Structure 1
C-alpha cells in the first residue's frame, strides 16, 4: 500500500480523511488490501507517524520511506526492498481509491494466485495501472524507476492481464473530488 505522499493538491494528509462510519481513508484502503493478502505493508513518508496514529486499522508492517519526496518510485522501492526472498510478487495499491469494487479486487487476487508469474493490473481503458500484481521477475525494472514514476510505466510495457475493477478512476486528489467521493461512499453504505 503506497501512502507516502504529502497530498499537495488536497492541502492536508488525505490518508487521515474520515469516511463517515468507516474510519480513515487509509484504514479503508488497508481493508481493501486485506482482500488480496493477509500480509499488508503500508509505505509511509510525509506526516509519519501522525498517519499511522490516526489510521485506526492495523497493517502487517509500516515501512518508512525516507526518500518520499522523490516520488512514487522511492515508495515502490521502499516497499519492495522489505520483501523476503520467498515473495513471488507484490500487490501494489494506493491509499486513495476508496471506491474499488471488491469483486474486481478478488478477480485480481484469484488471477495472481492462478498464474503468479503473469502481470495482473487494473484496466483503465487505454492503459493499465494499480491495483496490480507485479511478479518478482519485473522488480528490477520497477526498482530502476526514478522520480514520480509509478508502476504504471512498467505495467504498460508488458502484456499485463487486464482486470476490470470498478472505481479505479475515482481517486481522492482534491477537496472537491473528496466531497464527491464521500457522497458516493455514503450512498453505498
Structure 2
C-alpha cells in the first residue's frame, strides 16, 4: 500500500505577504485542489503543515507539523508513513489529477512525473529510500535523489499539469489549464 503525503508547509516567500495555499483559485483555497485530488484516490493520506490556518483547510487529513523547510517537511512526513511507499504531492500544484496519482501509486519502485522537460512530484518514494531522505537538508526535496536513481520510472503527463504556483501571477496564468473535478 502507498500513503499519500501532501506537503503543505512551505513558507511561500516568493508569493508575497499572504499565504499562497489560502489564496483563492477557481472558487476555493489553492490547497483544496491538491487535497480533493488526493481524497478522490481513496489512498491513505497525511498532510505536513506549518500554518494552523492551512491546517484548518485540511480537516480530512491526519496532520503533521513541520518547520516549513522542504527537507524537514519531507522527513517529518515519511517518519509517519507505515506503508511500503509514500507518494509525495505538493499543495501548490492544482492541476494534477486523481488518475495520475493512481498511476504513480500503482507503480513499483521509485517513480516521478515528467512533462518532458523536468521530473518532479507527484513522486513515489519506496520505503527502501526513506533512510536516504533522512540525509536531505535545507529547502529542497527529494528531486535530486530521485533523478540520480538509474531505476527511476517516469510517468509522462500533459504540459501544464505540473505547473505549480510560486507567485500571484501564476494563479492568473493557470486559469486556462484543467482542474480535476470537484468531489
Bin the TM-score by the shorter chain. Answer: 0.7 to 0.9
- Conserved in 1, the CA contact under 8 Å of 2:46 and 2:61? yes
SS in 2 for 1:103: helix
- Conserved in 1, the CA contact under 8 Å of 2:87 and 2:124? yes
Which residue matches 1:174? 167
Tell me the matched-pair count: 173
* 106 and 83 in structure 1: CA distance in 2 versus 1, 3 angstrom threshold: closer
> Which structure 2 residues correspond to residues 1-189 of structure 1 after superposition, within 5 A?
1-11=6-16, 12-21=18-27, 23-45=28-50, 48-53=51-56, 55=57, 57-65=58-66, 67-68=67-68, 71-84=69-82, 87-111=83-107, 115=108, 118-158=109-149, 159-166=151-158, 167-184=160-177
SS in 2 for 1:93: strand
- Conserved in 2, the CA contact under 8 Å of 1:35 and 1:105? no
User: TM-score, normalised to structure 1's length?
Assistant: 0.82
The runs of at least 4 consecutive aligned structure 1 residues that moved more than 3 Å come to 182-186
* 184 and 126 in structure 1: CA distance in 2 versus 1, 3 angstrom threshold: closer
C-alpha separation between the residues in 2 aligned to 1:165 and 1:34?
20
SS in 2 for 1:125: coil
Question: How much has 1:179 moved relative to structure 2?
Answer: 1.2
- Conserved in 1, the CA contact under 8 Å of 2:48 and 2:73? yes
C-alpha separation between the residues in 2 aligned to 1:137 and 1:185?
35
When the two chains are superposed, the root-mean-square deviation of aligned CA atoms in Å is 2.2
More helix by share: 1
- Runs (5+) with no aligned partner, structure 2: 1-5
Question: How much has 1:104 moved relative to structure 2?
Answer: 2.5
Could you tell which deviates more after superposition, 141-150 or 118-127? 118-127
CA offset digits 1:131-158 (Å, max 9, x no partner): 0110000011111101012110111011
Question: How much has 1:16 moved relative to structure 2?
Answer: 0.8
The one of the two structures with greater contact order (alpha-carbon pairs below 8 A, sep at least 6) is 2
